[in-house]
């Protein structure tokens, strides 16, 4: 049986603002790099640039929802994406 493809994604939280209910950061995977802004109060995720965004957006949102209370500014995190970039 073939193994499922996977890519390691690296997340860096740049800042949090609990008044605005927003987390800003960077994510990279498979040679791509993006900036993100997650308005956790509204459940909205913005990922830029658009190049390759579809590869990371859903997995990043699931990661952020799962780990939101553990994320800290300046923190570096990793998660696996079930795709080969």
Condensed to tens digits (0 to 9), the pLDDT of residues 12-64 reads 999 999 899 999 999 999 999 999 999 998 989 999 999 989 999 999 999 99
Report the pLDDT value the prediction gives residue 4, as an integer from 0 to 100: 83
* Cα angle 13-38-53, degrees, rounded to a multiple of 5: 90
Nearest to 13 by CA among 4, 22, 1: 22
Report the alpha-carbon distance of residue 48 to residue 51 in Å, rounded.
8
Report the alpha-carbon distance of residue 22 to residue 40 in Å, rounded.
6
Q: Give the mean model confidence (pLDDT) for residues 61-71.
A: 92
In a domain, 41, yes or no: yes
In a domain, 2, yes or no: no
* Count of CA atoms in the C-beta half-sphere (13 A) of 84: 3
| Residue 1's pLDDT band (cuts 50, 70, 90) | low
Asked if residue 64 lies in contact with residue 71, where contact means CB atoms within 8 angstroms, the answer is yes
Report the pLDDT value the prediction gives residue 2, as an integer from 0 to 100: 64
Nearest to 32 by CA among 70, 59, 72: 59
In a domain, 1, yes or no: no
In a domain, 63, yes or no: yes
Domain that holds residue 32: 7-81
Q: Is pLDDT at 77 greater than 90 in this prediction?
A: yes
In a domain, 26, yes or no: yes
| Residue 83's pLDDT band (cuts 50, 70, 90) | confident
Question: Domain total for the chain?
Answer: 1
Report the pLDDT value the prediction gives residue 84, as an integer from 0 to 100: 81
């Amino acid at each position: 049986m073939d193994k499922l493809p996977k890519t390691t994604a690296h997340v860096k939280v740049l800042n949090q603002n609990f008044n605005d209910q927003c987390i800003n950061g960077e994510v990279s995977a498979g040679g791509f790099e993006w900036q993100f802004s997650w308005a956790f109060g509204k459940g909205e995720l913005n990922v830029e640039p658009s190049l390759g965004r579809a590869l990371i957006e859903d997995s990043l949102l699931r990661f952020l929802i799962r780990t939101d209370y553990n994320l800290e500014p300046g923190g570096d995190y990793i998660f696996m994406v079930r795709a080969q970039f």
